[in-house]
Structure 1
Amino acid sequence: MQFDALRALGIDDDHMFIDHISGSTKNRPALDRLMATLVEGDEVVVWKLDRLGRSTQHLIETIELFKTRGVAFRSVTDPVDTTTPAGNLVFQIFAALAEFERALIVERTQAGLEAARANGRHGGRKSNISPEAAAHIRKLRDDNWTVRQIAKVVRVSPSAVSRLLRGEIEPNPDLGKKKRSA
């Protein structure tokens, strides 16, 4: 949808800079390449403000950098065109709203995770340590083996051994069971 909208504006694929990582990540190679190619008179067009940056501060800094270099900025879905004073105002408002929306999403996600933990559910993948291996790990630890030695023998990561010994993860009861087919 995003690419179709940009192509409809006459932007060819050779002039699209795409990062396949979160916009909140600082290391964005495609954005860095875009910034290196910009010259005065260019126009940067994004499908939506959050495609350029996730924080108000980053968006404002990037738009200011565009201005100092004589580069215009336009968003397809948000009525932002920084070549006008009204467009600048709209940009500031939309950037603040985008950051607010992202903060709400993070807040809701954290609340959901906390509720799940309170109900005994934990995210992430299941442990790769069987109950038998867990018993073996505990015995080796009682025999004063180091975490690294245990990890090597049991063939799991040292961090998994440490987390099991601290009680942060539980053995996976599904490991070691034979699968049956119907």
Structure 2
Amino acid sequence: MGKLIGYARVSTRQQDADRQVSDLLAAGVRRDDIYTDHGVSGSRASRPAFDKAVTALEDGDTLVITTLDRLGRSTQNMLAFAEALRGRGAGLRVLNLGGGDVDTATPMGSMVFTVMAALAQMELEIKRERITDSVAKRRAAGKDLGGRRQTFTDSQIRNALRLVESGEPATQVARDLGMSRATLYRRIRELPQATTV
């Protein structure tokens, strides 16, 4: 019986992988055999902890992931990866795939994995299509596309200037307003009859 190697990934540094790690531990993966990428997108070809997890796999071992999207985004890449593992004598186990635990070492598990990988890619493509369509409709209607920085009134900038002049660090005042220190200084210079900091 081979070893279980676990892999967890979160896309941003603000997220934590605690839930994935707990699920991997519950599935029988030893803590020392869990590799975690923080702040790494699933669309990236190179993921440092993922690469280490794959390197750690030996004949008879199984790579365990919690959900299919931890593996990647493209059906073609996921299927090629599963096939490459099979060629090395290693298996792939997805804990939460289609409501259950799927092991690609079995014929049924392999078939379910293939279908779910295709569905995952289709879902991603539909999501992209909806976003593109929404942006095009909003643009055509002359509506705000969002994502623009908040505009601040001269009064707000004067209040920020008072805070800086009273000893508050300019970096912190700018951060509290949601802008960079350079932008804060520029806005202060642009104030009518403002004294610069």
1:33 alignment counterpart? 52
Out of 23, 27, 30, the residue aligned to residue 9 of structure 1 is: 27
Deviation track 1:59-93 (CA, whole Å, cap 9, x = no partner) reads 01110111011111111011421111111111110
Does the residue aligned with 2:44 lie in a helix, a strand or coil?
coil
Structure 2 gap ranges (5+) = 1-18, 152-181, 193-197
Deviation track 1:6-53 (CA, whole Å, cap 9, x = no partner) reads 121122333222223211122222221112221111111110111111
Aligned ranges 1:1-182 → 2 under 5 Å: 1-19=19-37, 20-78=39-97, 79-119=101-141, 120-126=143-149, 176=190
Instruction: Give the TM-score of the pair, scaled to structure 1.
Output: 0.65
What is the deviation of 1:111?
1.9
Structure 1 gap ranges (5+) = 129-154, 157-172
- Matched to 2:128, the amino acid is V
What is the deviation of 1:113?
2.1
**Cα distance change of structure 1 residues 68 and 116 upon mapping to structure 2, 3 Å threshold:** same
In 2: Cα distance, 1:122 partner to 1:13 partner:
44
In 1: Cα distance, 2:114 partner to 2:70 partner:
15
In 1: Cα distance, 2:81 partner to 2:20 partner:
21
Instruction: Give the TM-score of the pair, scaled to structure 2.
Output: 0.60
What is the root-mean-square deviation of aligned Cα atoms in Å? Answer: 2.8
| Identical positions, percent | 37
Higher strand share: 2
What is the deviation of 1:58?
0.9
Q: Which runs of at least 4 in structure 1 moved beyond 3 Å after TM superposition?
A: 122-128, 175-178
Number of aligned residue pairs: 136
Deviation track 1:139-178 (CA, whole Å, cap 9, x = no partner) reads xxxxxxxxxxxxxxxx99xxxxxxxxxxxxxxxx9x9459
Tell whether the 8 Å contact from 2:54 to 2:63 is kept in structure 1 after alignment.
no
